[in-house]
Amino acid sequence: MEFCPKCGAMMFPKDNSFQCKCGYQKEITKDLASQYDVSEKIDPKDTVIFTGDDINTLPTTRAECPKCKNMEAFWWLQQTRRADEAETRFLRCSACKHTWREYD
């Protein structure tokens, strides 16, 4: 896989270059082609999965952002203390991306 140095998204081969959704292009040289299998063509009807900051796969919940008062946030759990203590719940605002934590 080739990743864009500007935005970090995955780049896909098109014509004779790797192209990113942000517009960055990198020419496919013989050395680069030998690292990757660029012979496979992607049909426009095929499903392609993109990843990046603009693609959110975390679950959402109804929670008020302390910064912008938006009422939707992504959440995840992480063990930040000893194993016999409860996990910490992190929330990230879906609008302004402010991140905060809640403890049980």
Residues annotated as part of the active site: 84-85
CA gap 32, 17 in Å, rounded: 10
CA gap 28, 12 in Å, rounded: 11
Whose structure tokens read 């409860």? Answer: 86
CA gap 39, 46 in Å, rounded: 16
